Amino acid sequence: MPIIANRWFTQQTFKEWLILDLVLLVLGAWCAYVLTQDHNRVTTRESERLSHQCVVVNMNLGRQFGTINTALTGILAEVPHWRKQRDGQALSSRHLRTLNNAMQGVRNFLVIDAKGTVEASDNPELIGENFAHRDYFQVVSKQPSTTTLYVRPPFISSLGYLTMSLGRMIAGPKGEFDGLIIAALDAEEFKVLLNSVIYRPGIRAALIHGDGVPFLMAPNSKDVEGVELARPGSFFAQHMRSGRSTNVFTGALNFVGDERMVALQSIQDPMLAMDKPMVVAVDRPLAAIYAPWNRQLVQYCLSFAVVTLLLVSGLLLHQRRRQLMGRVQADHETERVRGVEALRQSEERFRNLTKLSSDWYWEQDEQFRFVRLPGHLDQKTRSANDAHIGKTRWEMGALNLTEADWQEHRRALQSHEEFHDFEMMRRGRDGDIRWTAVSGMPIFDTSGCFRGYRGVARDITQQKMSDEHIKHFAFYDSLTQLPNRRFLSDRLTVAFAASKRNQRYGALLFLDLDNFKPLNDQHGHEFGDLLLVQVADRLKLGVREMDTVARYGGDEFVVVLGDLDLDRHQSEIEAGHVAEKLRASLAQAYVLNAAQDGAGVVTVEHHCSVSIGVTLFFNHDGSEEEVIKRADTAMYDAKVAGRNSVRFFEWANRPQ
């Protein structure tokens, strides 16, 4: 008998350790799978975020390049007239100054003759200068094309500022090279655009010429000064060689050596016929991206170690007890069976609870009434703990659940089904909204009779708040709290559908502040931000709650008016009335207060008018882009007409 007993204990012990090894192996594999999935999600999410920031810069920069190209085309049409006038130089310089004042992103306009001499410019200091040695002149003179928009690499201008040029060739009577028109870009204006896409510390945004020469970086960094980004093997070279518009790379940057995730997107509108593309790059350190995941990895490892220690200790204790109980005399068999049964129930409860992630533990009887609620509850939840005992879950209610939801929950309980993450929203005794996720499984005794439910619950209030914050960040402008372009697109889709359903006109107003740039130049961007916030507040007060006010970018805003009249003429009157009301409101003086170092609170009174372009839409008479473009064209007409005015889009004056 002792020999047989020893063999049985040896075989049983081996099986138990084998099962424990398999359990730990499965648990470790599950942890590895969860961590791998989380790592992939972090990578995908950050890649999409960085790519989205590139898209934001691409859209804004492409639009500005298009506006500059339109201005250069207009200047080309005037050059022959200016050259025939006796005072052509003065006339053209005045026109260039006016055009430069009305545009953002351009530092200087230059009209250069075939010998490289500046014959007209908005800056008198540049007239008479000869730039035949410059790259932008050499390339155009050697490779002349009337359809190409020449985008040349960054350089230091003769006036000492960093710039890069957009140029168009002036053609002679026979189509030969007869000079060129240059728009020298303002680096500070584009730096504002780059700063707008930096949503976390450590993120960098850069504009790079297609030849691999950096133009701007935000924040400023000396690491890229003089660096040839197009050298073989670099992320920039791989991006250009791929032929795709957008790429995301991960690894060490070859010019600084730190590990980063980099999103690159080419900016080359085929409508502009650019000879070289621009590339926007947004990157973030991998250490910052994966910091939360690394902390999660440490937590999983520590938790796995603790679970392993508990299981091993429990198994050793169990085996020790079994050996001792095996030596008990036959008259103590009943007590041994009771001890084994108690140990089995304890182990079953432990295994069940380890399957659920919890903040606190609960138990219910056969009528689904709470009988136990131990656990680590926060103070707000603990205050209502005693009120739960003796009640069912539906008797206490939840703000987010209907009677149909409770009926489905009761059906699952009566069917003795296991459930997970049953979410309930309740109001605490202090008035705060609290979210709870509950999971549970049925309890059966040794004879298989149902004895109630046991499970865990966890407070998910912070998770819900984080989800709402992320949603708000994705659809609203962080400065003005107005809908951003993404949300504007959604509201336009709704407005088009409502117009089709109600057979009523709608209107889109495109607003551009006229005197915004001088405020930033004189007082700094802090006062400019304060003015944009006040503009947003005035716009919201000037329209109905059903209408949409969105920030389009920079100092540009869009207002969508829905449910106007059935008649087009009456709808124009209503839209014009709203536009005039907004123009008058925004023309009022702005009082801006901001604290500055060493000067206390500084008060600035600023006057800033607005140019408004208006276009109507009915049913689906154009895409979102076409409707916005019509309003933008009308706004440009208001600018040309002297600013501080409202203009409607006129179909008769546009080319078909």
Known catalytic residues are 555
In this structure, are strands 646-648 and 610-617 parallel, antiparallel, or unpaired? parallel
- DSSP letter (8 states) at residue 649: -
R_g of the chain computed on alpha carbons: 35
Tell me how far apart the alpha carbons of residues 150 and 381 are, in angstroms, rounded to a whole number. 67
Give bridge partners of residue 120 from the DSSP assignment. Answer: 111
DSSP 96-130: HHHHHHH-SSEEEEEEE-TTSBEEEESSGGGTT-B
Tokens of 30: 């599950």
Residue with token string 């639009």:
63
Residue 172 contacts residue 152 (beta carbons within 8 Å): no
Tokens of 137: 């002149």
Q: How far is CA 21 from CA 26, 29, 510, in A?
A: 9, 12, 68
Residue 146 contacts residue 219 (beta carbons within 8 Å): no
Tell me how far apart the alpha carbons of residues 615 and 559 are, in angstroms, rounded to a whole number. 11
- Could you tell me if residue 342 is left (phi over 0), alpha (psi between -120 and 50 degrees) or otherwise beta? alpha
Q: Is 13 exposed, middle or buried (0-12, 13-18, 19+ CB in 10 A)?
A: middle
At residue 586, the 3 state secondary structure works out as helix
Tell me how far apart the alpha carbons of residues 291 and 305 are, in angstroms, rounded to a whole number. 21
What phi and psi, each to the nearest 5 degrees, are found at residue 549?
-115, 125
Tell me how far apart the alpha carbons of residues 266 and 244 are, in angstroms, rounded to a whole number. 8
Q: Note the helical H segments in 483-567.
A: 485-502, 517-523, 525-541
Question: Minimal CA–CA distance to 392: which of 451, 453, 443, 441?
Answer: 453
State the Cα torsion 382-385-387-393 to the nearest 10°.
120
Tell me how far apart the alpha carbons of residues 358 and 458 are, in angstroms, rounded to a whole number. 5
Tell me how far apart the alpha carbons of residues 622 and 632 are, in angstroms, rounded to a whole number. 14
What phi and psi, each to the nearest 5 degrees, are found at residue 424?
-135, 140
Tell me how far apart the alpha carbons of residues 410 and 415 are, in angstroms, rounded to a whole number. 8
Tell me how far apart the alpha carbons of residues 56 and 60 are, in angstroms, rounded to a whole number. 6
